[in-house]
Amino acid sequence: MDLQLTGRVAIVGGASQGIGFEIARTLAAEGARLVMTARREPALGSAAAAIRQETGAEVLPVQADVRRPEDSARVVEETVRRLGGVHILVNNDGAPPIGRLEDFDDGAWQKAVEQNLMSVVRMVRLTAPHMRAAGGGAIVNITGLSVIQPMVGFGLSVATWAGVIGLAKTLSIELARDRITINTICPGFINTSRLEKVFRREAEEQGLAPEEFIRRLTADIPLGRLGTPADIASFVALLVSPRGSFITGATVQIDGGSRRSLL
């Protein structure tokens, strides 16, 4: 299926590894012109080179920490200056620390708000005018299943990503007349390096070998396996394409059936 993304300019955050890298790779393979951002410069450069070599796409790596307002502005400025506009924005930037909420001080909360919520607020505010000028666009926010099915230890993410869902739902109404869609993805257990760290921590706390912990976890997923970054990336590619242009304001879990709820 041709997703009709050839020539569209896409900004993908957290693109040096994991879900962000796979989204960037998928969009590039579909013909998008790509801006990849991440905090760590060596890893970002290597990721951009790998995608450029594999797909032949135009790829611009821009090192940035989207928790910093000036970095968000620089990403958009560089994108417009080098590629001429913005059609697609994927907000993706990992997650705050894991731990009990009562153990986090104001500083930890402020960092979580900047990372998960304010980065999205700023990037949407900065890119929407360019999408409007282009006749439309698409925004996708990557959060986590914990925001709609809270888990102990993930409270910083739950609280701040809940704000992202509220933001996106409101923006889906406000931006609709400009033909700009905005949707939120809530991945379940996706096999990434970050998830491996979580697994090791949880296994240790439960006195289990990591392999046994994963076996028990996957046994509780109806589809019987962990997700892959490609499971997320393929759906994101649909959402940001003209073929997904009637989907906006949606919050979608991609979790192998883990969430057991009607709504």
Q: What is the domain partition of the chain in residue ranges?
A: 9-189+229-253, 191-226
Contact of 189 with 258, CB cutoff 8 Å? yes
Cβ neighbors of 223 (< 8 A, separation 6 or more) are 256, 257
Task: Give the Cα separation of 54 and 64 in Å (integer).
Answer: 24
3-state secondary structure 111-135: HHHHHHHHHHHHHHHHHHHHHHHHC
Q: Considering only residues 205 and 93, tell me which one the structure prediction assigns the higher pLDDT.
A: 93
Contact of 184 with 250, CB cutoff 8 Å? yes
Residue of 162, 168, 157 whose CA lies nearest to 112: 157
- Measured between its terminal Cα atoms, the distance across the chain in Å is 30
CB atoms within 10 A of CB 224: 10
> Could you say which of 2.40.10.10, 1.10.10.60, 2.60.120.260, 3.40.50.720 is the CATH number of the domain covering 9-189+229-253?
3.40.50.720
- The chain-wide mean pLDDT, for the chain, equals 94
Q: For the segment 170-228, what is each residue's pLDDT rounded down to a tens digit?
A: 999 999 999 999 999 999 999 887 777 777 777 777 888 878 888 888 999 999 999 99
- Whether the per-residue pLDDT at 3 is higher than 90: the answer is yes
pLDDT confidence of residue 146: 92
Cβ neighbors of 195 (< 8 A, separation 6 or more) are 189, 226
pLDDT confidence of residue 260: 86
Q: Give Cα 174 distance to the centre of its chain.
A: 22
- Whether the per-residue pLDDT at 143 is higher than 80: the answer is yes
pLDDT confidence of residue 11: 98
Task: Give the Cα separation of 18 and 7 in Å (integer).
Answer: 24
Name the band, by pLDDT with cuts 50, 70 and 90, for residue 251: very high
Q: Which range scores top for mean pLDDT: 95-104, 131-140, 186-195, 210-219?
A: 131-140
Burial class for 56, CB neighbours closer than 10 Å (0-12, 13-18, 19+): exposed
Task: Give the Cα separation of 129 and 15 in Å (integer).
Answer: 23
pLDDT confidence of residue 130: 98
Name the band, by pLDDT with cuts 50, 70 and 90, for residue 262: confident
Give residue 182's identity as a one-letter amino acid code.
Answer: I
pLDDT confidence of residue 139: 98
Residue of 80, 151, 162, 69 whose CA lies nearest to 114: 69
Q: How many Cα atoms sit within 13 Å of 261 on the Cβ side?
A: 9
- Whether the per-residue pLDDT at 78 is higher than 80: the answer is yes
In percent, how much of the chain has pLDDT > 90?
85
DSSP string, 191-206: -SHHHHHHHHHHHHHH
pLDDT confidence of residue 204: 78
pLDDT confidence of residue 24: 98
pLDDT confidence of residue 203: 76
Name the band, by pLDDT with cuts 50, 70 and 90, for residue 74: very high
pLDDT confidence of residue 161: 97
Torsion of CA 15, 19, 24, 29, to 10 degrees: 150
Contact of 8 with 32, CB cutoff 8 Å? yes
